[in-house]
Structure 1
Amino acid sequence: MDEQFLHILGFAPTNSTNPAVRRWAAELTVAHQAELKRLIALRDRARLPTANAHAGHNMPGMMTDEEVAALQKLRGPAFDKVLRTEVKDHLAQSALVTRSVKAAGQEAGVKQLAVAIEKDRAAQTARLG
């Protein structure tokens, strides 16, 4: 989820005309890059496959390839509106996943990351207003 989310956040510097949206996207990018780094380290430590088993699937909190392509073409307020919706959906779905990991996870490092992500999602969602 984070890889795709970072991809769409990368459109903000050129597609948004609103400096506040560009700053907000940059802040989310930094936070999600750090999170992804931790997720990859945990995956590698567990010797799990690197291929994304969910690639191409239509899943809650993720955009289809067609939706990503459409977003990439939007500019200005139209882009900002769709980005806000996608951010909201991503934050909600990833918070749901982290709650599941906290409840059912076995590995301490994974559960610690889930706690951190849940806290981050709450703060990021509160910022949406």
Structure 2
Amino acid sequence: MRAFLIAVLFAVTACGAPAEVPAEAPRAALSPTDLAFADLVIPQNESALAALALTTTRDSSLRPLAQRVEEHYRAELAQVRAVLAEAGTQESDQHEGHDMPGMITAAELAAAAHATEADFDEQVKALLRNQFEEARTVARAERESGTSERLVELSARIDSTRAEFLALLEKP
């Protein structure tokens, strides 16, 4: 009888019953600011990577800086994409083909690729300078208004590294 009462008690209170596991873990919500930040970081970094790749085709004094920047940019892209994936949000291409601050256009890349050796580094420096400065602007907006802890942390790193890259870019 005692065993029966314990069994009834377990059944009524659901003690010892396995907890229901949701079929899918809840997704981290991203604010409009977070989404805008991600939507800008991805094309900014990708266009800059294309400019950095040009330094490998020339005898460029920018090659060491380009290698350093490339490492950061690839890691940032992976992080932004991971946050988007975890939130169940697809990557946006809403800025594709746009001539926006911080985006290096196909025409600018072509001009740099066809620049004379004497002009090449200066053209690429100008493109990177603009990209670094605009990346800091975008990062500051995320730091001030973003809600995703991971993206706000990333924005702080972007602001800091772009300041560092700007200083390196200006060294003779």
Fold similarity call, TM over 0.5: yes
Unaligned runs of 5+ in 2: 1-43
Per-residue CA shift, 1:51-101, capped at 9, x if unaligned? 421001110111222222222222423110100001100000000000000
Structure 1 runs, 4 residues or longer, greater than 4 Å off: none
Give the structure with the larger helix fraction.
1
Q: Secondary structure at the match of 1:120?
A: helix
Unaligned runs of 5+ in 1: none
In the superposition, the TM-score normalised over structure 1's length comes to 0.90
**Alignment root-mean-square deviation, CA:** 1.4
Q: How does 1:109-124 map to 2 (within 5 A)?
A: 109-124=150-165
Name the % identity: 26
The code of the aligned residue for 2:72 comes to A
Partner of 1:61: 102
Is the 2:51–2:104 Cα contact (8 Å) retained in structure 1?
no
The structure with the larger Rg is: 2
The code of the aligned residue for 1:54 comes to H
Partner of 1:97: 138
User: Quick check: 99-108 or 58-67, which moved more?
Assistant: 58-67
- Kindly state the Cα deviation for residue 6 of structure 1 after the two structures are TM-superposed: 0.5
Provide the aligned length of Structure 1 versus Structure 2: 127
Answering whether residue 65 of structure 2 is matched by residue 44 of structure 1, we say: no
